């Protein structure tokens, strides 16, 4: 599977569902539940979206390890949620407990990717909804953000303690994510991936399917139990088998027992931890005790490009010492000398210059990429692949455990059972079965509607451009505040707000309502006609002017209001920044559409830029009188992220290598380097190859730039990216102006 900035190319016809999923992500506003058996490419698709979507995505996951593996952050840390259950309708963190930067990021995202959704409880999804509504569209589920939920309900399930169950039972029929109140308010499509890449044997795939469905036949159980291991089980004799167990204490005790049996000296390898790296996210032991002969598993892919090892590869320690450790893996000609590797704990930040959401490193964990691996829990094995495994799952206690364990193996021949597998060990949840059956029907219906949904998405964005209800609601709040607290002290300003509300209704809302009716009734083909596009541009200019004329003065004068009434001050300090930011962001967006014309690409890009421009203005609150704070010691000045990219470029690294070294997207690195083109510190030819420049210029000469970058991209060779097109357009504009 290969992705290239806006289009997804797959290497075989069996991946049609991946193309469909990409279409839903990129070309509709419909939320998606991407599911499928183990090994069907869900994680690969997540990475493709992060690398190439034109939307602004972030990735969250329910656990620290899952978040590190997905390149994202935990749900609780990003949304600042407590670990206690969330009761629908309860108040979460106060709006201004979130940092200014966090509020900017939440306001500007288009796509929220939630990995391992099967482990996310319904109440946690509703807590996410509550936070997103605070910072975005208050009346829209999830604040109007598109969701991409990735996971397999046949695998690991949400953790629910008896106390959690007691609290949540009155509100939710099931703890699974699909019981979320907010999720039930939106139309979302379920896309199921069928083609399995991990296993190739059709007979073994059929066995796994029956186990996944929870009702294996007698023949399937007999086939699995034919893999019952003779005693003694393979362990230290170079077998390369790893034991998958149901409980942590079983795995830990087994590993410690096997390690004690080795008579060779023990060496302790300690991790180097810098900055903030929570213990629950450690990818391996902080103090890793190893001996020659110990069975180990690599917990990270080889970053050298030589592919000597991968996450989940089993080996045996051949040589251990204070300064050297080697591991031999079956099938290799020589042992691997293992060096410490680094994991990063990141948080999302907003680059004020490029306006890109970037992952900023908060802390690092440097350690040998190994863990003892005579045994690990089934939970920790999720996402891994083994050539040889001993399954000890007869004590399974949760739906999906047996399936996860069995599906880690490439072949039936590489699988051994530690004890007979009984039907009672394969736990099935009828609530999941019922949900999946319903979603299969809904998925077929939605996929049939995809062409229409793509058209309606474009129409929806155009209607959204002229939707001023949120601005009206915020102005109504201001009128109530002035009527309640400033009726006498600021009578003239109160009258000004009353008049502004009346003008908004008559000159903006009423006119916009009629214009939206025209847009709604217009045939899809008519939306692209030149006369209609001209009318859109003129309308954008009209509404931008009206917002400025109606609200600029009331907002400016309200920022100067002072009062000794604490409740009045608090209410005004909360409401005024919201009104100002909503008005400015809408004005900036309308101005851009009046100048550039409307297209999906233009709208998505400029909408986020306009939000950030508005949020980047000084808060109204900061203009009000505040007590001076005591001066603090100056903080150490750290290099900016774009300065780091420039330094690496000046050291001779190309942009693609900088992106790989810094775990950033190529587009982000190009954004960093673009700012240095005009000064001559970065060569424009290094950012856009000469042949790509020529191809892009030929298309621009032919069709111009008024239709936006998508129209240009469609006529360019497929290896030309949107970033390159935008850079060439900027470069041509700069030359024209000079």
The DSSP string of 394-440 is TT--STTHHHHHHHTBS-STTEEESSPPPGGGS---HHHHHHHHHHH
Residues 435/153, Cβ–Cβ less than 8 Å: yes
Q: What is the pLDDT of residue 640?
A: 67
Alpha-carbon distances, residue 401 vs 153, 375, 397 (angstroms): 11, 15, 8
Give me the helix-helix angle, 600-616 and 450-465, nearest 10°.
40
Q: What distance in Å separates the CA atoms of residue 244 and residue 409, rounded to the nearest whole number?
A: 11
Q: What is the pLDDT of residue 353?
A: 63
Are residue 657 and residue 559 in the same domain, yes or no? no
Query: Which has the minimum average pLDDT: 258-262, 485-489, 621-625, 686-690?
Result: 621-625
Structure tokens at 707: 């239709």
Structure tokens at 462: 């155009």
Q: What is the pLDDT of residue 335?
A: 92
Q: What distance in Å separates the CA atoms of residue 379 and residue 397, rounded to the nearest whole number?
A: 12
Q: Is residue 387 part of a domain?
A: yes
Q: Is residue 190 part of a domain?
A: yes
Q: What is the pLDDT of residue 396?
A: 59
| Structure-model confidence comparison of residues 426 and 455, the more confident one | 455
The yes-or-no verdict on residue 314 having pLDDT over 60 is: yes
Quick one: what percent of the chain has pLDDT higher than 90? 25
Structure tokens at 415: 């699988």
Structure tokens at 506: 């008559």
pLDDT (tens digit, 9 = 90+) per residue, 117-163? Answer: 988 999 999 999 999 988 888 888 999 999 999 988 877 678 777 77
Are residue 320 and residue 247 in the same domain, yes or no? yes
Structure tokens at 169: 């039972």
Q: What is the pLDDT of residue 4?
A: 37
Mean pLDDT value across residues 37-64 = 82
Residues 38/155, Cβ–Cβ less than 8 Å: yes
Torsion on CA atoms 119, 160, 255, 381, rounded to nearest 10: -10
Could you give the 3-state DSSP secondary structure of residue 560?
A: coil
Structure tokens at 565: 């009434």
DSSP classification of residue 420: P
Q: What is the pLDDT of residue 376?
A: 86
Residues 6+ apart with CB under 8 A from 550: 500, 503, 504, 507, 508
Altogether, the residues listed in the chain come to a count of 738
Query: Which has the minimum average pLDDT: 537-546, 559-568, 636-645?
Result: 636-645
Torsion on CA atoms 528, 30, 69, 161, rounded to nearest 10: 160
Give the model's confidence band at 662: pLDDT under 50 very low, under 70 low, under 90 confident, else very high: confident
Q: Is residue 322 part of a domain?
A: yes
Q: What is the pLDDT of residue 81?
A: 84
Q: Which of 620, 655, 687 is the last residue of a domain?
A: 620
Q: What is the pLDDT of residue 427?
A: 67
Are residue 240 and residue 304 in the same domain, yes or no? yes
Q: What is the pLDDT of residue 671?
A: 67
Mean pLDDT value across residues 523-544 = 89
Give the model's confidence band at 69: pLDDT under 50 very low, under 70 low, under 90 confident, else very high: low
Are residue 63 and residue 39 in the same domain, yes or no? yes
Angle value at C-alpha 375, between 370 and 377, nearest 5 degrees? 95
Domain with residue 34: its CATH number is 3.40.50.300
Are residue 380 and residue 422 in the same domain, yes or no? yes
Q: Which residue has the tokens 């455990």?
A: 401
pLDDT (tens digit, 9 = 90+) per residue, 319-369? Answer: 999 889 999 988 888 999 999 998 888 776 656 566 555 667 888 899 999
Would the pTM count as exceeding 0.85? no
Are residue 80 and residue 153 in the same domain, yes or no? yes
The yes-or-no verdict on residue 440 having pLDDT over 80 is: no
pLDDT (tens digit, 9 = 90+) per residue, 81-125? Answer: 877 788 887 665 454 467 767 877 888 888 999 998 988 999 999
Q: Is residue 423 part of a domain?
A: yes
Give the model's confidence band at 399: pLDDT under 50 very low, under 70 low, under 90 confident, else very high: low
Are residue 360 and residue 411 in the same domain, yes or no? yes
Alpha-carbon distances, residue 578 vs 129, 236, 573, 621 (angstroms): 19, 64, 9, 11
Mean pLDDT value across residues 484-507 = 92
Mean pLDDT value across residues 473-491 = 91
Shortest CA distance to 605 belongs to which of 595, 592, 616, 615? 592
| Structure-model confidence comparison of residues 602 and 435, the more confident one | 602
Alpha-carbon distances, residue 336 vs 285, 308, 340, 367, 569 (angstroms): 20, 7, 13, 16, 66
The yes-or-no verdict on residue 461 having pLDDT over 60 is: yes
Q: Is residue 7 part of a domain?
A: no
Residues 303/385, Cβ–Cβ less than 8 Å: no
Q: What is the pLDDT of residue 225?
A: 86
Q: What distance in Å separates the CA atoms of residue 294 and residue 297, rounded to the nearest whole number?
A: 10
Quick one: what percent of the chain has pLDDT higher than 70? 82
| Structure-model confidence comparison of residues 636 and 208, the more confident one | 208
Give the model's confidence band at 505: pLDDT under 50 very low, under 70 low, under 90 confident, else very high: very high
- Residue 360: strand pairing partners: 347
Q: What is the pLDDT of residue 41?
A: 76
Q: What is the pLDDT of residue 196?
A: 65
pLDDT (tens digit, 9 = 90+) per residue, 262-278? Answer: 999 999 999 999 888 88
Are residue 117 and residue 93 in the same domain, yes or no? yes
Taking CB atoms within 8 Å and a gap of at least 24, the contacts of 676-679 are: 676/646, 677/731, 678/734
Q: Which domain holds residue 717?
A: 641-737
Our count of domains for the chain comes to 4
Give the model's confidence band at 663: pLDDT under 50 very low, under 70 low, under 90 confident, else very high: low
Q: Is residue 207 part of a domain?
A: no
Are residue 657 and residue 711 in the same domain, yes or no? yes
Q: Is residue 479 part of a domain?
A: yes
The yes-or-no verdict on residue 207 having pLDDT over 90 is: no
The yes-or-no verdict on residue 8 having pLDDT over 50 is: no
Are residue 288 and residue 407 in the same domain, yes or no? yes
Q: Is residue 590 part of a domain?
A: yes
The yes-or-no verdict on residue 499 having pLDDT over 50 is: yes
Query: Which has the minimum average pLDDT: 92-96, 111-115, 423-427, 571-575?
Result: 92-96
Q: What is the pLDDT of residue 265?
A: 94
Q: What is the pLDDT of residue 441?
A: 67
Q: What distance in Å separates the CA atoms of residue 242 and residue 256, rounded to the nearest whole number?
A: 14
The yes-or-no verdict on residue 523 having pLDDT over 80 is: yes
Q: What is the pLDDT of residue 6?
A: 41
Are residue 594 and residue 645 in the same domain, yes or no? no
Could you give the 3-state DSSP secondary structure of residue 709?
A: helix
Residues 25/53, Cβ–Cβ less than 8 Å: yes
Q: Which of 555, 586, 620 is the last residue of a domain?
A: 620
Instruction: Give the 3-state secondary structure percentages of the chain, helix then strand then coil, rounded to 5.
Output: 50, 15, 35
Give the model's confidence band at 550: pLDDT under 50 very low, under 70 low, under 90 confident, else very high: very high
- Residue 377: strand pairing partners: 245
pLDDT (tens digit, 9 = 90+) per residue, 606-656? Answer: 887 887 777 766 444 444 443 444 444 554 555 667 778 788 877 777 787
Q: What is the pLDDT of residue 292?
A: 94
Are residue 383 and residue 236 in the same domain, yes or no? yes
Give the model's confidence band at 664: pLDDT under 50 very low, under 70 low, under 90 confident, else very high: low
The yes-or-no verdict on residue 34 having pLDDT over 60 is: yes
Q: Which residue has the tokens 């297209």?
A: 599
Give me the helix-helix angle, 530-558 and 566-596, nearest 10°.
160
């Amino acid at each position: 599977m290969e992705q290239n900035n806006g289009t997804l190319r797959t290497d075989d016809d069996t991946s049609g569902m991946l193309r469909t999923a990409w279409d839903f992500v990129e070309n509709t506003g419909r939320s998606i539940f991407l599911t499928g058996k183990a090994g069907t490419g869900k994680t690969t698709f997540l990475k493709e979206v992060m690398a190439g979507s034109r939307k602004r995505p972030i990735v969250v996951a329910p656990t620290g390890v899952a978040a590190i593996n997905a390149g994202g952050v935990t749900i609780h840390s990003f949304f600042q949620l407590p670990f206690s259950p969330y009761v629908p309708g309860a108040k979460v963190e106060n709006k201004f407990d979130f940092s200014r930067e966090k509020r900017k990021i939440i306001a500007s995202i288009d796509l929220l990717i939630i990995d391992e959704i099967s482990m996310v409880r319904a109440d946690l999804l509703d807590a996410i909804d509550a936070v997103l509504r605070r910072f975005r569209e208050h009346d829209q589920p999830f604040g109007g953000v598109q969701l991409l939920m990735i996971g397999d309900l046949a695998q690991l399930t949400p953790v629910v303690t008896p106390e959690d169950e007691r609290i949540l039972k009155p509100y939710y029929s099931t703890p699974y994510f699909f019981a979320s109140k907010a999720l039930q308010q939106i139309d979302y499509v379920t896309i199921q991936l069928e083609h399995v890449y991990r296993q190739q044997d059709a007979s073994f795939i059929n066995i796994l399917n029956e186990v996944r469905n929870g009702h294996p036949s007698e023949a399937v159980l007999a086939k699995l139990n034919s893999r019952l291991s003779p005693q003694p089980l393979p362990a230290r004799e170079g077998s390369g088998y790893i034991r998958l167990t149901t409980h942590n204490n079983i795995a830990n005790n087994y590993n410690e027992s096997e390690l004690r049996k080795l008579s060779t000296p023990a060496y302790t390898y300690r991790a180097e931890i810098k900055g903030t790296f929570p213990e629950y996210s450690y990818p391996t032991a902080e103090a890793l005790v190893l001996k020659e002969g110990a069975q180990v598993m690599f917990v990270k892919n080889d970053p050298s490009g030589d592919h000597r090892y991968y996450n989940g590869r089993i080996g045996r320690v051949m040589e251990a010492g204070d300064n050297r450790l080697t591991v031999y893996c079956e099938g290799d000609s020589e042992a691997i000398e293992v060096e410490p590797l680094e994991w990063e704990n990141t948080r999302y930040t907003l680059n004020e210059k490029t306006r890109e959401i970037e992952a900023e490193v908060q802390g690092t964990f440097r350690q040998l990429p190994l863990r003892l691996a005579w045994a690990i829990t089934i939970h920790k094995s999720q996402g891994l692949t083994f050539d040889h495994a001993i399954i000890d799952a007869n004590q399974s206690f949760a739906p999906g455990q047996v399936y996860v364990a069995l599906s880690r193996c490439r072949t039936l021949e590489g699988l051994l059972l530690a004890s007979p597998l009984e039907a009672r060990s394969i736990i099935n949840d009828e609530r999941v079965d019922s949900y999946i059956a319903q979603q299969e029907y809904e998925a077929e219906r939605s996929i049939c509607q995809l062409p229409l949904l793509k058209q309606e998405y474009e129409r929806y964005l155009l209607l959204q451009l002229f939707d001023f209800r949120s601005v009206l609601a915020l102005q109504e709040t201001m009128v109530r505040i002035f009527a309640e607290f400033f009726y006498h002290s600021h009578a003239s300003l109160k009258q000004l707000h009353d008049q502004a509300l009346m003008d908004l209704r008559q000159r903006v809302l009423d006119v916009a309502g009629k214009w939206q009716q025209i847009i709604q009734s217009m045939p899809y083909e008519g939306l692209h006609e030149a006369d209609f596009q001209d009318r859109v541009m003129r309308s954008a200019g009209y509404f931008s002017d009206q917002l400025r004329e109606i609200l600029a003065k009331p907002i400016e004068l309200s920022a100067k209001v002072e009062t000794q009434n604490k409740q009045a001050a608090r209410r005004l300090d909360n409401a005024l920044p919201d009104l100002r930011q909503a008005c400015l962001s809408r004005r900036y967006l309308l101005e851009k559409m009046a100048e550039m014309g409307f297209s999906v690409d233009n709208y998505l890009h400029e909408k986020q830029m306009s939000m950030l421009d508005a949020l980047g203005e000084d808060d109204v609150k900061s203009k009000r009188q505040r007590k001076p704070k005591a001066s603090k010691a100056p903080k150490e000045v750290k290099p900016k992220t774009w300065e780091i990219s420039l330094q690496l470029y000046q050291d001779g690294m190309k942009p693609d290598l900088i992106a790989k070294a810094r775990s950033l997207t190529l587009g982000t690195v190009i954004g960093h380097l673009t700012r240095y083109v005009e000064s001559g510190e970065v060569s424009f030819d290094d950012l856009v190859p000469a042949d790509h420049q020529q191809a892009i210029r030929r298309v621009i000469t032919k069709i111009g730039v008024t239709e936006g970058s998508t129209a240009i991209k469609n006529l360019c060779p497929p290896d030309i990216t949107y970033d390159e097109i935008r850079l060439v357009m900027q470069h041509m504009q700069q030359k024209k102006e000079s």
